[in-house]
Amino acid sequence: MLIRSTWTLTVSEPTTLPRSYGLKLVKDLHQRAASQIPQGSHLEMGNEIIPSVTCSGILGKATGSGDFVTFHAGEFYQLSLCGLQERASKAIASLTFASNPDLPPTLELLGAKFHIVNRDDEVTSYENLYHTLVAAEPEPEKRFDLKFTTPTAFSQNRIYLSLPLPSLMFRSWLERWNHFAPVYLGSSELIQYLSENIAVSRHNIQTRSFPVHSGRVTGFVGTVTLQILSLPDPLLANVANLLIRYAQFAGTGMKTRLGMGQTLVKTDRLYIQPES
């Protein structure tokens, strides 16, 4: 089971949070999920080598000043939470925020109150994705437009690399897929083959820092177009398609649990997630 749960939020008055609110937000969401489902089915946090949950943080039009960010009344914000395996997905699906049935549900964080005005759950499975995008042998797509909505970076030999290199993106997606999915796709040979035949044809990115604990990580945000240059085997082209679409659940790169690497995908055929 895979889930991408997207909530639309508003505030009734200007609301200020520290820029580093992300860790507190993720902790609170994990604790809330743990309290609402049977013992032993809660979300893990902090002790997973590959995180089973990705979180976007609160996205939308906000004003930054120093170490703080202010959310404004009258604006709509989005928060997405994705589960990459059965237990995590069920925990996310179980999350409820209504304390009073006569009032809109609210998400409270560090004294701030966000009203949840809409929730959209996209639910699928690894088997369904694999069957639809690979086993059914659809006509391969050649171009993919990716939008990175939160800073994205890759950890490389104790340094952080903030560039959309195909080899690093595919490695990130494949590592998560092979860890959680029942269908094994391949190893480093597959990454090498894809990165040699799929290139960044255009991009519009900029760097942005992301607060992590007491420091900051620099990542890139913006749009990146991936183009298949030469993949004579349609099967491998469809495997690339599968991994790229999986990015909407798994995120891209490092610290996706805390809000980095959030990825939206547009293909030649459809938007998988409407861009905001």
Question: Would you say residue 10 has pLDDT above 70?
Answer: yes
Which among 94, 124, 154 is the end of a domain? 124
- Phi, psi values for residue 260, rounded to 5°: -85, 160
Q: What is the pLDDT of residue 163?
A: 96
**Distance (Å, rounded) from C-alpha 260 to C-alpha 240?**
22
Do 86 and 202 lie in a common domain?
Answer: no
150-160 mean pLDDT: 91
CA atoms within 13 A on the CB side of 239: 23
Do 119 and 144 lie in a common domain?
Answer: no
**Distance (Å, rounded) from C-alpha 265 to C-alpha 146?**
5
How many beta carbons lie within 10 A of that of residue 209, not counting itself? 13
With pLDDT > 70 as the criterion, what percentage of the chain qualifies? 89
The DSSP result for 176-245, as a single string, is HHHHH-SS----HHHHHHHHHHEEEEEEEEEEEEEEETTEEEEEEEEEEEEEE-----HHHHHHHHHHHH
pLDDT tens digit sequence for 114-154: 999 999 999 999 999 999 999 999 998 889 999 999 999 99
Q: Residue 144 maps to which CATH number?
A: 3.30.70.1900
pLDDT tens digit sequence for 13-65: 999 999 989 889 988 988 887 666 655 455 566 678 899 999 999 999 999 99
**Distance (Å, rounded) from C-alpha 109 to C-alpha 25?**
7
Q: What is the pLDDT of residue 32?
A: 82
Q: What is the pLDDT of residue 7?
A: 96
**150 in helix, strand or coil?**
strand
Range of the domain at 251: 140-267
**Burial group, residue 188, by CB count within 10 angstroms (0-12, 13-18, 19+):** exposed
What's the chain's average pLDDT? 89
Which among 124, 151, 177 is the end of a domain? 124
Do 117 and 145 lie in a common domain?
Answer: no
State the angle between helix axes of 234-250 and 166-180 in degrees (0 to 180), rounded to the nearest 10: 80
pLDDT tens digit sequence for 235-275: 999 999 999 999 999 999 999 999 999 999 986 544 334 33
pTM, full prediction:
0.91
**29 in helix, strand or coil?**
helix
Is residue 31 one of the residues assigned to a domain?
yes
**Distance (Å, rounded) from C-alpha 143 to C-alpha 275?**
17
